[in-house]
Structure 1
Amino acid sequence: MEIHDLKLLLQGHLSDGLVTIVGSGLSCAEGLPGMTELAAHLRETIGGDLAPVDCECWAKLAPAVAAKGLEAALLDIAPTPALEAAIVARTADLISSCEREIIAQIFTNTKKLRFTRLLSHLLKPTTGIPVVTTNYDRLIEIAAEEAGLGVDTMFIGHFAGALNEQESRLSFCQEVTLRSRQVRYRYRPRVNVFKPHGSLDWYHREGRPVRYAGELPSARLIITPGINKFRNGYESPFDRHRDRANSAIDRATRFLIIGYGFNDDHLETHLTPRIRSGIPTLLLTYELSANAIKLARECPNVIAIQRGSVDGEEGSSIFVNTAEIYVPHLALWELDTFISEVLEP
């Protein structure tokens, strides 16, 4: 396939009915730590303040984390409640610290997020742009505001904001008119952000989930990988965000998937069957996971782009119609390059 034809094919993908799935790969590209850095941080910071039973569990878990990574280790060995709380706290501390540095750069206009650039090229449905992310950070929300869009997280208020989906949606209403006995609402263009694994600004207060953008000594509401993820995922507000994410996936007529590895069972029960049913899907990532490669090789409706290299020269490895092609000297898997080469030629 000629590069011109490939770019036309990619341009046509960003049309009506698009649902965007964002994984940790995009946050890592912006400077946030990945699983390797997180696992190292946990090994360095978890220990002395735990009870003996928790230390014993960590003594079993830590070598597994070092050997096969955090996610695989937590799937094999369930942490005790106190150890899980420590993992959540240390995880939030690391990501929050790195996030602050990135936010400071954005605030002083020394950095522009890739997702901000992308949003200017996406259609803006009146119901909002649906974005599902497994990330804890707030970079998607910030990117949307930097693009001049509203952000609907289903929370209302700035201090201890309550989870209230209806009020959150109505807060974006700009005008109400009556025509032919029908009430019509005009809403501000916005991004609907669904976070089934939680967010750095989610806390518990008096038994209910709240949203507060600042730093608090309380534990954040985030779900770490592993066995306990499934139990925690059915508690509020995770359940509501998961339901809305799955609903968006079920209604989608096409997918844009950025930096996501297809290793999350909370989403996979809906996402992978929809892709296999024939929904057009575009995948951009540094390295395709084994599950993603399987989809790309078996589903002609999937275009998957990852980093490629031939004879030491980097380019893009691209699956189109289940066949793999190589495009030299062009990093189309990287979102900034994709935007420059495909959407802003």
Structure 2
Amino acid sequence: MNLNDVAKIIQEYLADSPLVVLGSGASVPYGLPTMRGLADVLRKDALLQAEENSAKLFSDMDLIDLEKAIDNNTLSDKAKKRIRTLTWKCINEKDLKLFKDKNLEEKMQPLVKLIKKIITTSPNQLTIVTTNYDRLSEYAVDLYRATTVTGFEGNLFRKFDGFSEHVNSKRIAARERVVKILKVHGSLDWFKTENEDIVSFPLQKQIPSGYTPLIVPPGKEKYSTTHDEPYRSIIEEADKEFKKAGSFLCIGYGFNDSHIQPKLISQIKNAGKPIVVITKEATAECMRLVADSNVKKYLILEDNGSETRVISNKGKAIVSGNVWSLNEFMEVW
């Protein structure tokens, strides 16, 4: 199997209205923190250091992943709230830094190209399901000049173009191009009042006074939190979109989230829909659920130094280049 063979598989498997799943690995190339980076921030916090079992908590962060470390230790409600706040601040700081980057449009081109590729070959629609809190998807959709649907109204990038016929035509086209972004674990822009009102304040530097960030922090509590709104409605909508999709493209997704996996795995195993996974490193769960299961059409691309390791139902290979990265993947697709 060579690069041309891989390209043919990609084109075959993603020919029918692919739904895109974005995991944390999709955000890392844009400067967003990894779980290890977030763990480093938590370790330095004085309030968490004062927790009774902080030494074991921080030790577990080194030995196992952050989420399991939180699950393995009993934390006070104050500490849990602090983890949510620090998680928001850490990711929000990096996200805003990217937003203000003068080269943002250039940096976002891989995601913009992905959106354009799917929308132009589908009926002007694309669905992105993501466990990420960041706004990268929204930035890319705005840069492509399409309409974002998140359950909230409004968008982030605004340029004054005037009122010519040409501009009016572009506005009509933008309204027709729709990208549904389903953020199953919440967003940096979403907040809740003490009265349970759900609102969105875009691009805040700090958490607004009197509001709680609507993000699901790491740990097993996310499974009880997501029974509440807006998570419940978003997850239900994601389930519907998984059933409607013709194929799936997973980018930097580790297959470690039970909110979205059941419907996804059901569709690739029982309905026989193709799946393509591009990632820095395929997780054990990815291999178990995709490569080592009864999935008829799958392609996994992962980093192999300056090359790409290919694992597919059609065979295994090593091909030149970083085809596992979105930038080079788009050149091949």
Q: Taking structure 1 as the reference length, what is the TM-score of the superposition?
A: 0.83
More strand, by proportion: 1
In structure 1, the partner of 2:227 is: 234
Counterpart Cα distance in 1 of 2:315 and 2:292: 7
CA separation of 1:199/1:57 partners in 2, compared to 1, >3 Å: closer, same or farther?
farther
Cα displacement string for residues 270-328 of structure 1 (whole angstroms, at most 9, x for unaligned residues): 2222222221000000000001122224333110000114xxxx20100121632111x
User: Aligned ranges for residues 168-247 of structure 1 at < 5 Å?
Assistant: 188-205=176-193, 206-215=195-204, 216-217=207-208, 218-247=211-240
The alignment partner of 1:4 has SS state of helix
In structure 2, the partner of 1:182 is: none
For the 8 Å contact 1:317–1:326, the answer to whether it is kept is yes
Counterpart Cα distance in 2 of 1:279 and 1:241: 22
**Which one of the candidate residues 282, 296, 301 is aligned to 2:297?**
301
In structure 2, the partner of 1:111 is: 107
Higher mean C-alpha displacement, 127-136 vs 20-29: 127-136
Counterpart Cα distance in 2 of 1:195 and 1:201: 11
Q: How many residues align?
A: 309
In structure 2, the partner of 1:321 is: 313
In structure 1, the partner of 2:23 is: 23
In structure 2, the partner of 1:280 is: 274
For the 8 Å contact 1:287–1:306, the answer to whether it is kept is yes
Counterpart Cα distance in 2 of 1:252 and 1:42: 38
For the 8 Å contact 1:22–1:133, the answer to whether it is kept is yes
User: Aligned ranges for residues 72-83 of structure 1 at < 5 Å?
Assistant: 72-83=68-79
Note the C-alpha offset of 1:187: 5.2
For the 8 Å contact 2:146–2:175, the answer to whether it is kept is no
In structure 1, the partner of 2:321 is: 330
Q: Which amino acid aligns with 2:321?
A: L
Higher mean C-alpha displacement, 137-146 vs 10-19: 10-19
In structure 2, the partner of 1:96 is: 92
Q: Which amino acid aligns with 2:148?
A: V
- Report which structure shows greater RCO (CA 8 Å, sep ≥6): 2
Whether 2:80 is the aligned partner of 1:84: answer yes
In structure 2, the partner of 1:68 is: 64
Higher mean C-alpha displacement, 102-111 vs 85-94: 102-111
CA separation of 1:39/1:49 partners in 2, compared to 1, >3 Å: closer, same or farther?
closer
The alignment partner of 2:192 has SS state of strand
Whether 2:46 is the aligned partner of 1:14: answer no
Counterpart Cα distance in 1 of 2:7 and 2:282: 20
CA separation of 1:23/1:275 partners in 2, compared to 1, >3 Å: closer, same or farther?
same
Counterpart Cα distance in 1 of 2:74 and 2:146: 40
Cα displacement string for residues 130-174 of structure 1 (whole angstroms, at most 9, x for unaligned residues): 100000000001111111111111112589xxxxxxxxxxxxxx9
Note the C-alpha offset of 1:69: 2.2
CA separation of 1:157/1:141 partners in 2, compared to 1, >3 Å: closer, same or farther?
closer
CA separation of 1:49/1:259 partners in 2, compared to 1, >3 Å: closer, same or farther?
closer
Note the C-alpha offset of 1:48: 6.6
The alignment partner of 1:56 has SS state of coil
The alignment partner of 1:105 has SS state of coil
Q: Which amino acid aligns with 1:98?
A: K
Whether 2:250 is the aligned partner of 1:261: answer no
**Which one of the candidate residues 141, 148, 151 is aligned to 1:151?**
148
Cα displacement string for residues 181-225 of structure 1 (whole angstroms, at most 9, x for unaligned residues): xxxxx9521210001100000001332111110323333110012
Q: Could you say what the CA RMSD is over the residues aligned between the two structures, in angstroms?
A: 2.4
Cα displacement string for residues 90-116 of structure 1 (whole angstroms, at most 9, x for unaligned residues): 011111111111111257645334211
Q: Which amino acid aligns with 1:296?
A: A
Counterpart Cα distance in 1 of 2:140 and 2:282: 25
CA separation of 1:323/1:297 partners in 2, compared to 1, >3 Å: closer, same or farther?
farther
Counterpart Cα distance in 2 of 1:74 and 1:113: 36
Counterpart Cα distance in 2 of 1:35 and 1:207: 29
The alignment partner of 1:332 has SS state of coil
For the 8 Å contact 1:296–1:302, the answer to whether it is kept is yes
For the 8 Å contact 2:47–2:79, the answer to whether it is kept is no
Higher mean C-alpha displacement, 284-293 vs 77-86: 77-86
The alignment partner of 1:73 has SS state of helix
Counterpart Cα distance in 2 of 1:158 and 1:304: 33
Counterpart Cα distance in 2 of 1:118 and 1:158: 19
